[in-house]
């Protein structure tokens, strides 16, 4: 490949990938940091805390691993965990890894049709579930499914609580049937290249796809993230990100395990609870989405909490408002750490370089992690583009998914014969390696023949002091093909009219980027891992236009 003057970033780093399973990583850290805190789980309702040192986490996951063996979980079995953030989740993540079973993460908000698809397509052999999630009775949902549907692969169901036939306590009791030698034999058969997890993508287009992630890809991705971020054994990472997504179970749990630090996990996000945990545990790193940070900073009692322990403000996503990150860092004296990733990449692709100037770290998604190749190609021809040109982001390296489970065609559509994953993201790569995401291929708006990238308009809108959040979508237009529809959330204690937003845009944007429609929302529809649901906003925009046309 000729890359001179082209938007291609080769893999960097030599000899720093490790051949290690997640179980081996914990064993190594238990030997090195045995009495140091490894993980803390906080129940925000009861305020009860569960704490493990590294030695305790190794022992407790060992007992659970023996219980899983006693339950009949074999190497390579698919074990679905339908649980929100709980102490048991952390133990299950490691225990399943230690016996070579595959953890299939399940959003506990799934409904009957969605769960049926996952249990069937994912060839689930064992299901572990919570009794409830918010207003949903998960136990009743599963009982109805099992009574009416046939799941030939499913051999066991375990409820964490309640009066189910088989509970988590019963599962732990099965450990008495399995000796340490049997566990050691199982652990010895697990290889770094084995599948660690199956993470189902959101499925906003077509059926959800189960991305298979290996021990090798996740452990090394977490290690390299921590190394760039300067993570150490004195660090305390605080987060309420869902454990059933890679941000929670890889970046947070494995990220801290890889450096010997401590992860503090809340069962759900609440600004007061986060601030209390921040102060109580002396959080040095917080992983959160922009909304979480803004709600903490805007909390009326923010100033009463001690927050000067924070070293890194960790945010992920494609559109981090620089103004918010600047506000966070200046308020608490932290440094910014922005990442860009996707589930299929275990998950981090790029991350801010701490040696870059402050403003540069706010403006881009960083540079590729070591051992990660990145290129920008023309979406139509696949040709390599020039530095600074907009095109599709493609990734290659150790971090890639092993494919989508039982979906060979979808895997081939995503990963080409040369091993490049085609992300579907529109991005710009500069010659210094800095990556900027400018939108999704499917999100690009073609207005009167002009390509319009929503993120450019969103970034401009976020510079307005009265706008806290902004999202832009395209809507059909009989004359121009598509028109621009902007949704904005006013900043706290401010008011904003559509006319004011349009006037602001008229003064600072090219005419073809001018939103024809503006609508204010108090909050945006979000996925469980904190990403804005643009497809919901598109539907909302179409409904609003229909109502307007009918009046």
- Domains in the chain, ordered, with CATH? 22-425 (3.40.50.12780), 445-550 (3.30.300.30)
**Strand bridging mode 195-200 / 102-106:** parallel
pLDDT tens-digit readout, 301-351: 999 999 999 999 999 865 678 888 999 999 999 999 999 999 999 999 999
- CA-to-CA distance for 13 and 15, rounded, in angstroms? 7
Which tokens in the block code for residue 414? Answer: 């995503």
Per-residue pLDDT tens for 246-278?
999 999 999 999 999 999 999 999 999 999 999
Residue 69 to residues 64, 154, 182, 188, 193: CA-CA distances in angstroms?
A: 9, 16, 9, 14, 21
pLDDT value, residue 205: 46
Are 17 and 398 in contact by the 8 Å Cβ rule? The answer is yes
Cα-Cα end-to-end distance for the chain: 58
pLDDT tens for 413-444 read 999 999 999 999 889 999 999 999 887 777 87
Digit-coded pLDDT (tens) for 158-196: 999 877 789 999 999 999 999 999 999 999 999 999 999
pLDDT band at residue 2 using 50, 70 and 90 as cut-offs = very low
DSSP assignment letter at 334: P
pLDDT band at 1 (very low <50, low <70, confident <90, very high): very low
pTM: 0.85
How, if at all, do strands 262-266 and 236-239 pair? parallel
- Burial class from Cβ neighbours inside 10 Å (0-12, 13-18, 19+) for residue 509 reads middle
Instruction: Say if residue 105's pLDDT is above 80.
Output: yes
- Please give the C-alpha separations between residue 257 and each of 28, 185, 237, 285, 445, in angstroms, as whole numbers: 10, 23, 11, 14, 42
């Amino acid at each position: 490949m000729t890359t001179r003057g082209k938007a291609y970033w080769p893999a960097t780093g030599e000899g720093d990938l490790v051949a290690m399973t997640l179980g081996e990583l914990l064993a190594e850290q238990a030997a090195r940091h045995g009495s140091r805190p490894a993980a803390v789980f906080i129940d925000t309702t009861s305020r009860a805390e569960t704490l493990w040192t590294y030695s305790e986490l190794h022992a407790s996951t060992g007992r659970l691993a023996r219980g899983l063996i006693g339950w009949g979980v074999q190497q390579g079995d698919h074990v679905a965990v339908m649980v929100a953030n709980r102490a048991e989740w952390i133990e299950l993540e490691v225990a399943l890894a230690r016996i070579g079973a595959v953890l299939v993460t399940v959003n506990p908000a799934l409904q009957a049709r969605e769960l049926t698809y996952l249990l069937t397509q994912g060839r689930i052999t064992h299901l572990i579930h919570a009794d409830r999630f918010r207003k949903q009775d998960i136990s009743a949902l599963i009982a109805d499914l099992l009574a009416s549907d046939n799941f030939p692969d499913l051999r066991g169901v375990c409820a964490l609580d309640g009066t189910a036939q088989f509970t988590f306590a019963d599962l732990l009791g099965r450990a008495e049937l399995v000796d340490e030698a049997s566990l050691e034999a199982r652990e010895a058969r697990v290889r770094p290249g084995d599948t660690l997890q199956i993470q189902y993508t959101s499925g906003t287009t077509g059926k959800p796809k189960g991305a298979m992630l290996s021990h090798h890809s996740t452990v090394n991705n977490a290690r390299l993230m921590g190394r760039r971020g300067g993570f150490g054994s004195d660090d305390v990472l605080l987060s309420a990100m869902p454990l059933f997504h890679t941000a929670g179970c890889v970046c947070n749990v494995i990220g801290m395990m890889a450096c010997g630090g401590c992860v503090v996990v809340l069962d759900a996000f609440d600004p007061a609870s986060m601030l209390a945990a921040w102060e109580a545990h002396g959080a040095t790193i917080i992983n959160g989405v922009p909304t979480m940070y803004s709600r903490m900073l805007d909390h009326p009692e923010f100033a009463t909490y001690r927050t000067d322990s924070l070293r890194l403000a960790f945010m992920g996503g494609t559109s981090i408002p620089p103004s918010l990150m600047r506000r966070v860092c200046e308020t608490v004296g932290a440094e910014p750490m922005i990442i860009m990733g996707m589930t299929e990449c275990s998950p981090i692709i790029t991350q801010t370089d701490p040696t870059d100037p402050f403003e540069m770290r706010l403006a881009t998604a960083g540079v590729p992690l070591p051992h990660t190749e990145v290129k920008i190609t023309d979406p139509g021809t696949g040709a390599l583009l020039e530095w600074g040109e907009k095109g599709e982001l493609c990734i290659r390296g150790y971090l890639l998914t092993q494919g989508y489970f039982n979906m060979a065609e979808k895997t081939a559509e995503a990963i080409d014969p040369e091993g490049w994953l085609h992300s579907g993201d529109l991005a710009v790569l500069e010659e210094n390696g800095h990556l900027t995401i400018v939108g999704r291929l499917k999100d690009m708006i073609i207005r009167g023949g002009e390509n319009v990238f929503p993120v450019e308009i969103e970034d401009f809108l976020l510079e307005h002091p009265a706008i806290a959040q902004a999202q832009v979508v395209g809507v059909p237009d009989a004359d121009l093909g598509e028109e621009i529809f902007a949704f904005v959330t006013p900043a706290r204690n401010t008011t904003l009219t559509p006319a004011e937003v349009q006037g602001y845009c008229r003064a600072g944007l090219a005419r073809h980027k001018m939103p024809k429609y503006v609508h204010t929302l108090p909050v945006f529809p979000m996925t469980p891992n904190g990403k804005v649901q643009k497809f919901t906003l598109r539907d909302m925009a179409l409904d609003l236009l229909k109502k307007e046309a009918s009046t």
